[in-house]
Amino acid sequence: MSTLRTLAFMALVCCGLTATAQGVKENRIVASPEFSKYTISRHIYGHFSEHLGHCIYGGYFVDENSTIPNTRRIRTDIVDALKKIHIPNLRWPGGCFADEYHWNDGIGLRANRPKMVNTHWGGVTEDNSFGTHEFLDLCEMLGTEPYICGNVGSGTVEEMSKWVEYLNFDGVSPMAELRKQNGHEKPWKVQFWGVGNENWGCGGNMTAEFYADQYRRYATYARNYGDAKLMKIAGGANSFDYHWTETLMKNVPLNMMWGVSLHYYTLAGGWDKKGSATTFGENEYFSAMKACLRMDELVTKHSTVMDRYDPEKRVALAVDEWGIWTDVEPGTNPGFLFQQNSLRDALIAASTLNIFNNHSDRVRMANLAQTVNVLQALILTDKEKMLLTPTYHVFDLYQVHQDAALIPLAVNTKDYVFGTEKLPALNASASRDKDGNIHLTIVNIDPANAIDLQVDVPGTQTLKASAQILTSDKFTDHNTFEKPSALKPVAFAGVKKTGESVGLKIPSKSLVVITLAK
């Protein structure tokens, strides 16, 4: 049990709320606003866009003569949709692509930019028309902070050092002059920098010890210029590799890292057969939910390792690749990782974000993979058509948690039982925003059973309750280009507030967001 949950249960007991002859009500959530200590960083709600499939080309970035509405080739409807949910940061150019990307190839006149082969994703030829300037143009349109991942696998210390100088130095230097020649007088002051990606795998197949030494080299020459203090993120562990995290925390001075990354993908099956995104039964549904909820174990154990070296929690855990990974849609390029997005995936996103919120003492950045047309995408496109996936709607509903004060919860829930296995049916997180409004995001993963739930929030006698819900008839339901709004949030009238308590029957396979406002 996490520290926050322990505190919440202690508060529950001290208040006498559990001291009944019958014990705790089977399905009950008790909030403890008085124990609020941490802020849910908005950067937990970050995203990831790699040069992979049709995320960039055919996603954000349209052809030069395209009739799809765009600004400097950046697709307008995608920008508008992402601005609506206030994405706080965007990670680029990879992913595995980052460690074969040479930034100099993506600047200057597009006609003069050398082409390259994307060896990781489909073996396609990239024309480098979307490069540094285009990415930062996109970020400015979105009003989001760029998070750039540097090339450690096939690059050099000098290459990354000069990229930082090109972007951030406001003075006289070769890189600053080159930036000005390419049309950008003032520096962008990019602060989030990843020093390599998955260096245990596609980023160089390194050992933890070798990478820790490489990180120190690269980080040394990635300089701070002016007030653009770099927030450097070390390439962290693959899933359950606690040795990797231990090695970084032990061998890299804490003042050289803003964060350590962690990558984990939810798989309904195994890596060889991940399963369909839209055609699956309860066996695959349960398996995916079980894998999703293991994120809590991962974050807890990696945080425990970090605590041994950093008890003051100065270094963030940045889960900068996460989401469900399924088989590609039939008939599409297997190297493009295009998959549909069902109600199941929305519940996975909501449950994962609840986990991150509840670990906001250590988790201060996360990036869903990926934003457009790849893996658990927020947005799918087909030429001029565009749709918002159920996962997009989760991020829309959850934006109320950005930079809000985490409220610890005690969650007592029945189990979702499948065969001989079981999982907690409910998971939740809560926060108080700057205006004093309280938001609870509650997920019922049980695909068949609604749950009678009582939610107690001390000190809210005068607040009024309202709610929204995201659900559908089947966990395989999804939005299509023919029916792009089949799944979307709607008002939920099934909440009743009495004093400091809210009662509701939370439907099966649903996300309910409760707002307590003045």
Residue 325 identity? W
Identify the bridge partners of residue 322 per DSSP, sorted by sequence position: 264, 368
CB atoms within 10 A of CB 285: 22
Name residue, tokens 């099934």.
494
Q: DSSP secondary structure string, 412-474? A: E--EEEETTEEEESEEEEEEE-TTS-EEEEEEE--SS--EEEEEE-TT-TTPEEEEEEE--SS
Q: Please check whether residue 215 is in contact with residue 235, taking contact to mean a CB–CB distance below 8 angstroms.
A: yes
CA distance 267 to 43: 24
Q: How far apart are CA 449 and CA 452, in angstroms?
A: 10
Supply φ then ψ for residue 404, to 5 degrees: -95, 165
> Which among 100, 134, 165, 321 is annotated as catalytic?
321
Q: Catalytic residue at 246?
A: no
Angle ∠(69,482,335) on CA atoms, nearest 5: 75
Find the catalytic residue in 50, 165, 198, 284: 198
Region label for 454, one of left (φ > 0), alpha (ψ between -120 and 50) or beta (otherwise): beta
- Residue 511 belongs to what H/E stretch? strand 510-517
Separation of alpha carbons 193 and 234, rounded Å: 9
* Residue 57 structure tokens: 């080309």
Burial 104-141 (b: 16+ CB within 10 A, else e): bebbbebeebeebebebbeebebebbbbbbbbbbbbeb
Between β-strands 145-150 and 89-92, what pairing exists: parallel, antiparallel or unpaired? parallel
Separation CA 429–CA 442 (nearest Å): 7
Paired with 369 in beta bridges are: 48
And the tokens for 424?
């907690």
Please indicate whether residue 384 is annotated as part of the active site. Answer: no
Residue 357 Cα distances to 42, 350, 396, 408, 469, angstroms = 10, 10, 15, 10, 19
State how far the Cα of 325 lies from the Cα of 338, in Å rounded to an integer.
Answer: 10
Active site residues: 198, 321
